[in-house]
Amino acid sequence: MNKLCFATNNAHKIEEVAFALDGAFELLSLAEIGCTDELPETTGTIPGNSRQKARYVFDHFQIDCFADDSGLEVDALNGEPGVDTAFYSGSRDHAKNIAFLLQKLAGITNRTARFRSVITLVQNGQEYQFEGVVEGRIATESHGTGGFGYDPIFIPEGYEQTFGELSMEVKNGMSHRGRAVRGLVDYLAG
């Protein structure tokens, strides 16, 4: 069976992708290939960081690999927080990141935004990218307790509730990461 590394140690992400691949590949985590390195993310873009992580693993561990990178892009803030989504307020604290974003958007009526996820696959030295996007807008205050990160303030197109209020089934059905994973799986299934 062909081996494929997912450049993460997040067991939930690995399980989700392994299920989607339906046994076509032996999916390995970074720990399982012996990678304890901090993967580089210095390009300043979501596609660039995804590519940089996958290429690093392929070049250093000689195994076909894919990596993902995701972020929230707010039009009125010229695409911020973007690659800085997880640390937008200077910390990984979701409540602080939400408060910081809402403060920056105070008084701004254009609240259009999107969640973007890019997966880069490096297979036999060749690179392929798969993107998933969910368009929406930023609420004026938090609603709901579901999900994580910016979910309580992101209202996807076609809905009046935030990701924090919607069920996991509804959210996962339109997830930006899920859409990128489907592109990867479709490609690997040939």
Angle value at C-alpha 47, between 151 and 74, nearest 5 degrees:
40
**What span, in angstroms and rounded, lies between the C-alpha atoms of 37 and 57?**
9
- Which of 108, 12, 127 shows the shortest CA–CA distance to 67? 127
Q: Which two tokens stand for residue 145?
A: 């307790």
Angle value at C-alpha 123, between 120 and 125, nearest 5 degrees:
100
Active site residues: 69
Residue type, position 110, single letter? N
Torsion angle of C-alpha atoms 85, 75, 134, 29, degrees rounded to 10: -20
